Structure 1
Amino acid sequence: MIVAENLLGAAEDSGTRVACSVAEAEDVPGLAFALRRGVDALVLEDGCDAATLEAATIAKAQRAEDAADDALARDVDARDAGPTLEAWDVVGVEEGSVSDRVALDLTSLMAHDEGCLVGSSAKALALVLGETATGGFVPPRPFRCNAGPVHSYVAMADGKTKYLSEVGAGDRVLVVSGRGSRAAEVGRAKVEPRPTLRVDLQRGGKKGNVFLQQAETVRLAGAAGDPLAVTKAKAGDRVLVAFDDRGTHVGGRISVRVDER
């Protein structure tokens, strides 16, 4: 079943249809409803047993009944050229543990309003700005995005997401600002133990959070265009978040309900 799920995830939005051969009745439900939508066709062997044929017939009927709901759930619109940024409310800031934090050092410089999209949920990614600010205790590093712990998702240039633990030299991340987005190559992913803060975010009924290093140089993009240091963030502040209600499978967006808490 894992192979079928991987094929379906890779084929999402590509127009490719997936057909799987099935020889036993117990394999039918798993293939017919893999990743909820199932493969596009089941191929039965000539002279298959009655149980397998019956299971396939039942699955076909169930798929027909679910077709209307599936159409509503599926995002059939063309993917936007770039992410849409929304203003989300900070509803709380809590101390986190000492975590394995990843700093993404890019091979190009970021402008003051540019950064990477990062979050604990692939659906809600906060805009974390590059370390471009002057003054303070350390010099600016405008090639660096202090992106957060290894569990976090980061938006990639190909429209997918990766865990920060997976990102390495040569990968291309999406660099975003209120003016648009571009691809940038990672020259180094620097992993170090650092204390963190959890910033809880909400917009209407949508919720998310982002863990970030507890440091003055780590800043979120404020909704009004001003940077917000994570060490000064508090309930009532507003920051920019990219939201997509689709789930993900191996980093790619799929039209399946996935809850991330």
Structure 2
Amino acid sequence: RESKDLAAVNRLKRRDKKVAAYVEILSKKHEELAALLGKDADYLILLGRDWKVIPLENIIAGLQGEKVKIIAAVADYDEAKLALETMEHGTDGVLLCPHEISQIKKVAELMEKIQSENYELKAATISKVEPVGIGDRVCVDTCSMMQLGEGMLVGSYSQGLFLVHSESMESEYVASRPFRVNAGPVHAYVMTPGNKTKYLSELETGDEVLTVDKEGNSKVAIVGRVKIEKRPLMLVEGEYEGVVLRTLLQNAETIRLVSEDGKPISVADLKVGDKIMIYLDPNARHFGMAIEESIIEK
């Protein structure tokens, strides 16, 4: 039986087909079969009637370095968490076969948490705030509702980005727009998934950006619309351990950064000595990708 399974996988691979092998783990022999199939298959789907850690650990360990994607069939949140965290690396995904519909949401939230990137934010000290004139600024309207303390990482320099707060706060001037970040001028960088950046001017409907909260936790958001309009701009300069960062933002009361205590602070109220949250990146950027290269930005 093992030879038939392996022969079928090899036959399909010779025809340049993507192959998924499905193995129900009932004994040690099935575990060994899964390890063999995983060396040739593109995907390995594992079903355990009563999931135990050891078989999964053995299969993951045995297939380290192989290109196969390991998928574990699970029934609930606890089994999904076990599969995704086994041997630190975990499986590449789960196939959810829930007994209760409530488990779908719980597992989806678990996957979102695991897949999110975390950015270590620092508190920079404001060293300059001054108006600089008119420019083309970009509003990014997403398909997600952001919360208090959440926004996007934006800046003029790739080595350091400011956490620009969403328009999730009510004000006497305008109604809240929790899906929006008034991000800055067209030249500025914005963080996107995979620790990549784009120029704000490049964004368009359907693109992905990262929303980041005051703790540095991120989520992927889809761009629904981008608005570019001429507006008065404000230069904001911050310093952290000798590194000077600058960005430009619209000069308006409703535009906010995030302070050291995680609260939004308007650029209109910003003054020298205030602490605001930034993300420092030691890498240079080449077409938005982080690379190890010496670069000067000023």
User: Under a length normalisation based on structure 1, what TM-score does the superposition of the two structures give?
Assistant: 0.68
Is 1:105 aligned to 2:141, yes or no? yes
What's the counterpart of residue 88 of structure 2?
A: none
Deviation at 1:158, TM superposition (A): 2.6
Contact 1:157 1:184 in 2 (8 A): no
Report the 3-state secondary structure (helix = DSSP H, G, I; strand = E; otherwise coil) of the residue aligned with 2:268.
helix
What's the counterpart of residue 129 of structure 2?
A: 93
Report the 3-state secondary structure (helix = DSSP H, G, I; strand = E; otherwise coil) of the residue aligned with 1:232.
coil
- Structure 1: which 5+ residue stretches go unaligned? 1-79
Letter in 1 for 2:255: V
* Higher relative contact order structure (alpha carbons within 8 Å, sequence separation ≥ 6): 1
RMSD: 1.1
Match of 2:189 among 148, 153, 157: 153
What's the counterpart of residue 218 of structure 1?
A: 255
Deviation at 1:176, TM superposition (A): 0.3
Looking at structure 1, the residues matched to 249 and 222 of structure 2 have their Cα atoms a distance apart, in angstroms, of 22
Letter in 2 for 1:218: I
Looking at structure 2, the residues matched to 152 and 120 of structure 1 have their Cα atoms a distance apart, in angstroms, of 5
Is 1:132 aligned to 2:162, yes or no? no
Report the 3-state secondary structure (helix = DSSP H, G, I; strand = E; otherwise coil) of the residue aligned with 1:98.
strand
- Structure 2: which 5+ residue stretches go unaligned? 1-115
Contact 2:187 2:201 in 1 (8 A): yes
Letter in 2 for 1:158: G
Deviation at 1:136, TM superposition (A): 1.6
What's the counterpart of residue 57 of structure 1?
A: none
What's the counterpart of residue 235 of structure 2?
A: 198
Looking at structure 2, the residues matched to 115 and 81 of structure 1 have their Cα atoms a distance apart, in angstroms, of 14
Deviation at 1:97, TM superposition (A): 1.7
Report the 3-state secondary structure (helix = DSSP H, G, I; strand = E; otherwise coil) of the residue aligned with 1:231.
coil
Match of 1:242 among 274, 279, 282: 279
Contact 2:117 2:219 in 1 (8 A): no
What's the counterpart of residue 258 of structure 1?
A: 295
Is 1:174 aligned to 2:220, yes or no? no
Letter in 2 for 1:99: G
Looking at structure 1, the residues matched to 297 and 206 of structure 2 have their Cα atoms a distance apart, in angstroms, of 29
String of CA shifts for 1:195-220, please: whole Å, max 9, x gaps: 01000110121111110001111100
Match of 1:163 among 183, 199, 202: 199
Deviation at 1:93, TM superposition (A): 0.3
String of CA shifts for 1:127-156, please: whole Å, max 9, x gaps: 001001113211001110000000100001
Is 1:116 aligned to 2:165, yes or no? no
String of CA shifts for 1:39-83, please: whole Å, max 9, x gaps: xxxxxxxxxxxxxxxxxxxxxxxxxxxxxxxxxxxxxxxxx9321
What's the counterpart of residue 188 of structure 1?
A: 225
Report the 3-state secondary structure (helix = DSSP H, G, I; strand = E; otherwise coil) of the residue aligned with 1:117.
strand
What's the counterpart of residue 21 of structure 1?
A: none
% identical aligned pairs: 41
Which protein has the larger Cα radius of gyration, Structure 1 or Structure 2? 2
Deviation at 1:121, TM superposition (A): 0.2
